Chains A and B, each alone.
Chain A
Amino acid sequence: MNLRFFDINLYLGRPKRAVYGAVPSGQELVSGLDSLGVSEAVVWHIAQYDHDPVDGNALIAREIAGQERLHGCWTLLPPQTREVIREDFFRRMKESRIVALQAFPDAHRFLMNRITFGKFLDEVSERGIPLLVHLDRGNSYAGVYRLLEDYPQLTCVLCDVGIWGCDRYTWPLLEHFRNVRVETSLLALEDGGVEATVRRFGAERLLFGTGFPDRYPEAAMLQLRHADIPDPDKEKIASGNLEDMIRREQL
Chain B
Amino acid sequence: MKERSKLWEEFYAKGRVEDCPVYDLHGHMGSFSGAYLPRADADSMIAAMDRAGVRMLVFSSHAALSSPDIGNATAIAAVRRFPGRLRAYCAVNPNYPDIVEAEVAGFDRYRDVYVGFKFLSDYHGIAITDARYEPAWQFADERGLLILLHTWGHSQFDGPEPIRKVAEKYRRVKILLGHSCHGEWQKAIDLANDFPNVYLELTAIPDERGVLEMFVEKAGSQKLLFGTDSPWFNHHYYIGAICGAGITDEDRRNVFCRNAEKLLGCG
Contacts and interface: CB of A to CB of B under 8 A. Distances in A.
B210 A19 contact: yes
Contact of B38 (A189, A192, A219, A222): A192
Contacts, number: 115
Interface residues on B, range: 35 or more
Given A21-B1, A228-B51, A218 B241 contact: yes
B234 A223 contact: yes
B39 interface: yes
B233 A190 contact: yes
A31 to B, nearest CB: 7
A222 B12 contact: yes
Contact of A216 (B15, B235, B244): B244
B12 A219 contact: no
A226 B209 contact: no
B232 A218 contact: no
A219 B206 contact: yes
A188 B239 CA distance: 12
Contacts of B36: 165, 167-168
B6 to A, nearest CB: 14
Contact of A35 (B2, B12, B233, B237): B2
B12 A192 contact: no
B4 A196 contact: no
Contacts of A195: 38
B196 interface: no
Contacts of B3: 35
A60 B109 CA distance: 63
Interface in A48-94: none
B44 interface: yes
Given A189-B233, A191-B231, A192-B48, A225 B15 contact: yes
A222 B209 contact: no
A32 B244 CA distance: 12
Residue from B2, B3, B206, B234 having most chain A Cβ neighbours under 10 A: B234
A215 interface: yes
Given A19-B210, A36-B1, A164 B48 contact: no
Interface string A181-223: 0000000111111011000000000000000011111111111
B117 interface: no
A223 B228 CA distance: 14
A68 B208 CA distance: 29
Nearest to A162: B35
B236 A223 contact: yes
Given A165-B36, A191-B231, A221 B240 contact: yes
Interface in B216-267: 228, 230-241, 243-246
Nearest to B37: A165
A190 B209 contact: no
Interface string B98-109: 000000000000
18 contacts: A20-B211, A21-B209, A35-B3, A165-B232, A168-B35, A188-B237, A189-B233, A191-B233, A191-B235, A195-B38, A215-B241, A216-B209, A217-B244, A218-B240, A218-B244, A220-B240, A223-B240, A226-B51
Given A35-B3, A218-B8, A223-B237, 9 more contacts: A23-B1, A163-B204, A191-B48, A195-B38, A215-B209, A216-B209, A222-B243, A223-B234, A228-B51
